[in-house]
Structure 1
Amino acid sequence: MKKVFCSLVIIVVLVFSCCTTNKSTEVAKENSFAKGADVGWLPQMEVTGYQFYDADGSKKDCLQLLKDRGMNTIRLRVWVNPSDDKASGHCSKEETVAMAIRAQKMGMRIMINFHYSDSWADPGKQNKPAAWKNHTFSELLNDVYSHTTDVLKALKSVGITPEWVQVGNEIPGGMLWPEGSTDNFGQLAQLLNKGYEATKAIDPKIKVIVHLDEGNNSKKFRWFFDNAKANNVKYDVIGLSYYPFWIKTDYKENIADLANNLNDMASRYDKEVMVVEVGGIDTQEQNTHDMLVAVIKAVKAVPNNKGLGVIYWEPQGAKSWSHYELSAWRSDGKPSMALDAFKE
């Protein structure tokens, strides 16, 4: 009888241990999924007097509002020598460090997004910083390495090592035009690799992202990353933007294409993938919420845990302040219910 009792105890302990382990694994997997916001406008919004409110009307710190809605990650763009323009300036090294300190104190994970420009870099413009304008290609390689190193060292000096570093912003046509255009992919590859090498020299555990727009466009991604492979570009993560608004569609028309492209990128290049920018129309809260749910589901469904996360671009960037209509903030200063998608 004693032997039977002992055997039963052992079985119960093993079953409980197994269930606990499985549950712990599930929790760890969920916590590792990045749910976040790019908030480059936030310091300027606050300086100009914009007030943030919770659903009950109480004033609250914007980062706390985002955290309360399930977000655990903050993405910060950095420009080389930006102006002080309210909407198209700031985001200097010093301002980025200050914002990163604030985000880390809130328990947030950090992504740094290098534009390698003095202002916006995107598919339509990849302007070199004014200080680099007349530099030779060899000098541009040094510029990318030095600027990347300078910013990451400044962060490290205050105890911050970002989890991800993005080398270039939405670069289907390359960066630092004309030298870094995809018309000369070999040179673009060298520039990207300088950003990669500078990042890994700071900390080899930082994951380096290469980022394109139109995440539902498989043809664009295959063309770019086939060329990246042929030219030995070094990176860890494929970053995607997904904005149905900019391609004049509803998400239901191409969410399957996004999902298929995520899976294809992960398997074709054996890389992790991440939607580093997403957004929907601020006044269409339910549609934006449902789109976010679908995007999060698509990224989480990438096999072998290669889908790392989803980041909303400037959710707090209310149209009344920014004139940008893809935030997730209401005119009364309160977060849109669309952001509840990150809680789920």
Structure 2
Amino acid sequence: MMKRNAITLLLLLITGLNFGQKKETVFAKGADVGWLPQMEATGYKFYDTNGKEADCLQILKDLGMNSIRLRVWVNPSNDKTSGHCSKEETIVMALRAQKLGFRIMINFHYSDSWADPAKQFKPKDWEKHSFAELLNDVYNHTYDVINSLKQAGVTPEWVQVGNEIPGGMLWPDGSTDNWPQLGQLLNKGYDAVKAVDKNIKVIVHVDEGNNNEKFRIFFDNATAQKVKYDVIGLSYYPYWIKKDYTETIADLEFNLNDMAKRYGKEVMVVEVGGEDNQVQNTYELLTATIKAVKNVPNNKGIGVLYWEPQGARSWSHYALSAWQADGKPSPALNAFKEN
């Protein structure tokens, strides 16, 4: 009897230790697929590696991806490549991705179309608003989208407040020429996300992930303005700075490590891409990028997402997709499965 009691006690202790352990977070590997519903609506067909017609999201999942990123525009047009991505369309896509087991990231552009380092145009409906009204606009729009997603049954794991904002957003009011105002706008976005669910991680996103000076200037200013966020998001596109990844990957790795240490935040490459006609080079770029993020100490490197891998050049005229002319995924995407 005593022996049985001792065994029972031992089992309880082991069980208790297991319960006490922190659940390990799975590394995020995924894609931004904002063009997907438009591609399907215009009749584009996707084929798996065996040449069989299949759901694009299932193809991506079979390639080792576990996360999907979706952009949101305020009042978008119906333009094939520069429109769509409304709240309603985003909810439909998020539900579809979640049903396949994907984790969800929502990316707010705070514009009616593309926002990036070269342009951060206010939505038309907000153009004549005062700064005080803009603060409410950011809060209300962010809350509405994330709360609507939650009501529909999808709670995103991550939410980006702004898309590639080294120069700020909602110009001119939220420009980095006026950091106190930019800081307030970012915090309104953060507060709106956390009001829906405090466990959602908020990302602040800057381009040129290999440019440490650019990131230090931006996030030092963000710190001075007491900007609230959980994750530093980076873009990494050697193509746009006309350098091969072999010339910049060490700088990316240095910056990832520096950001995590300097600001105590998790880091994530939320956009990466290589040329569709340079398959081996893009495969190596992805392999090196995933390795660099995984190597950040203390598990602070949490993921890598390809920007529109399915956005085939024949449909989008975008050179950095990872899809072939025959409708099949590029072998470059095997990097997600193999790393």
**TM-score normalised by the shorter chain: which range applies?**
over 0.9
In the alignment, the residues of structure 2 paired with residue 188 and residue 53 of structure 1 have an alpha-carbon distance, to the nearest angstrom, of: 44
User: Which residue of 116, 122, 138 maps to 1:128?
Assistant: 122
Structure-2 residue corresponding to 1:291: 285
In the alignment, the residues of structure 2 paired with residue 254 and residue 55 of structure 1 have an alpha-carbon distance, to the nearest angstrom, of: 31
Matched, 1:274 2:268: yes
Superposed counterparts of 1:316-327, under 5 Å:
316-327=310-321
User: Which residue of 74, 89, 102 maps to 2:83?
Assistant: 89
The normalised TM-score by structure 2 is 0.93
- TM superposition shift of 1:213: 0.2
Structure-1 residue corresponding to 2:165: 171
Which range is displaced more, 55-64 or 135-144? 55-64
2:222 counterpart letter in structure 1? A
- TM superposition shift of 1:308: 0.6
Describe the SS at the equivalent of 2:113: coil
CA deviations over 1:176-231 (Å, ceiling 9, x no partner): 00000000000000000000000000000000000000000000000000000001
Structure-1 residue corresponding to 2:99: 105
Matched, 1:190 2:197: no
In the alignment, the residues of structure 2 paired with residue 307 and residue 55 of structure 1 have an alpha-carbon distance, to the nearest angstrom, of: 30
CA deviations over 1:27-49 (Å, ceiling 9, x no partner): x74x6100000000000000000
Which stretches of structure 1, 4 residues or longer, exceed 4 Å deviation after superposition? Answer: none
In the alignment, the residues of structure 2 paired with residue 121 and residue 332 of structure 1 have an alpha-carbon distance, to the nearest angstrom, of: 31
In the alignment, the residues of structure 1 paired with residue 209 and residue 151 of structure 2 have an alpha-carbon distance, to the nearest angstrom, of: 35
Structure-2 residue corresponding to 1:333: 327
2:162 counterpart letter in structure 1? G
User: Which residue of 133, 142, 158 maps to 1:148?
Assistant: 142
Structure-2 residue corresponding to 1:45: 39
Matched, 1:217 2:211: yes
CA deviations over 1:257-276 (Å, ceiling 9, x no partner): 00000000000000000000
- TM superposition shift of 1:116: 0.2
In the alignment, the residues of structure 1 paired with residue 244 and residue 68 of structure 2 have an alpha-carbon distance, to the nearest angstrom, of: 27
Structure-2 residue corresponding to 1:307: 301
Matched, 1:75 2:64: no
Structure-2 residue corresponding to 1:181: 175
- TM superposition shift of 1:290: 0.5
Q: Which consecutive residues of structure 1, in runs of 5 or more, have no partner in the other structure? A: 1-5
- TM superposition shift of 1:153: 1.1
Cα-Cα RMSD: 1.6
Q: Which consecutive residues of structure 2, in runs of 5 or more, have no partner in the other structure? A: none
In the alignment, the residues of structure 2 paired with residue 113 and residue 266 of structure 1 have an alpha-carbon distance, to the nearest angstrom, of: 21
Structure-2 residue corresponding to 1:3: none
Matched, 1:231 2:225: yes
Aligned residue pairs, count? 324
CA deviations over 1:85-123 (Å, ceiling 9, x no partner): 000000000000000000000000000000000000000
- TM superposition shift of 1:159: 1.0
1:194 counterpart letter in structure 2? K
